[in-house]
Structure 1
Amino acid sequence: MFNQKKAEEAVYQLLLALGEDPEREGLVETPKRVAKMYQEMFAGLNEEPKEQFTAFFTEAHEEIVLVKDIPFYSMCEHHLIPFYGSAHVAYLPSQGRITGLSKLARAVEVASKRPQLQERLTEQVASALDEALNPQGVLVMVEAEHLCMSMRGIKKPGSKTVTLAAKGIFEKEFQKRQEALSLMRQ
Structure 2
Amino acid sequence: MKEQAIMGVRQLLEGLDINLETKGMTDTPKRVATLFEGLFSGCHSTGKEALGDVYPTEHTGLVSVNHIPFYSICEHHLMPFYGKVHIVYQPRDGKVFGLGRLKALVDVYAKRPQLQERLTHDIATSLVEDGDVLGAMVMVEATHLCMLMKGEVAQETVAKTILATGILEPMGTLREEALVLLGGNDHV
Both structures adopt the same fold (TM-score exceeding 0.5): yes
Aligned 1:118-129 pairs, distance under 5 A: 118-129=116-127
Name the aligned partner's letter for residue 145 of structure 1: T
Structure 2 gap segments, 5+ residues each: none
Q: 2:120 aligns to what SS in structure 1?
A: helix
Displacement of 1:133 after TM fit? Answer: 3.0
1:24 aligns with 2:22: yes
Match of residue 12 from structure 1: 10
Aligned to 2:72: 74
TM superposition score normalised by structure 1: 0.93
Deviation sequence 1:64-84 (CA, Å, 0-9, x none): 101110000000000000000
| Structure 1 contact 72–86 (Cα < 8 Å) conserved | yes
Corresponding position of 1:183: 181
Residue type at the aligned position of 2:80: P
Q: Is the 8 A contact 2:47 2:126 kept in 1?
A: yes
In structure 2, do the counterparts of structure 1 residues 12 and 136 end up closer, same or farther at CA, with 3 Å as the change threshold?
Answer: same
- State the Cα distance separating 1:153 from its structure 2 match: 5.1
1:60 matches 2:58: yes
Residues paired across the two proteins, number: 184
Contact 2:14/2:20, CA 8 A, preserved across alignment: yes
Secondary structure of the structure 2 residue equivalent to 1:170: coil
Q: Distance in 2 between matches of 1:70 and 1:57?
A: 21
Q: Write out the 4+ residue segments of structure 1 that deviate beyond 4 Å after TM superposition.
A: none
In the alignment, structure 1 residue 160 sits paired with structure 2 residue 161: no
Task: Give the unaligned 5+ runs of structure 1.
Answer: none
Aligned residue for 1:148? 146
**Percent identity for Structure 1 against Structure 2:** 43
SS of 1:32's equivalent in the other structure is: helix
Alignment check: 8 A CA contact 2:143 2:159 kept: yes
TM-score, normalised via structure 2 length: 0.92
Equivalent in 46, 49, 62 of residue 47 of structure 2: 49
Contact 1:83 1:144 in 2 (8 A): yes
| Alignment RMSD | 1.4
In the TM superposition, residue 161 of structure 1 has moved relative to its aligned partner by 0.8
Distance in 1 (CA, whole Å) between partners of 2:79 and 2:131 is 33
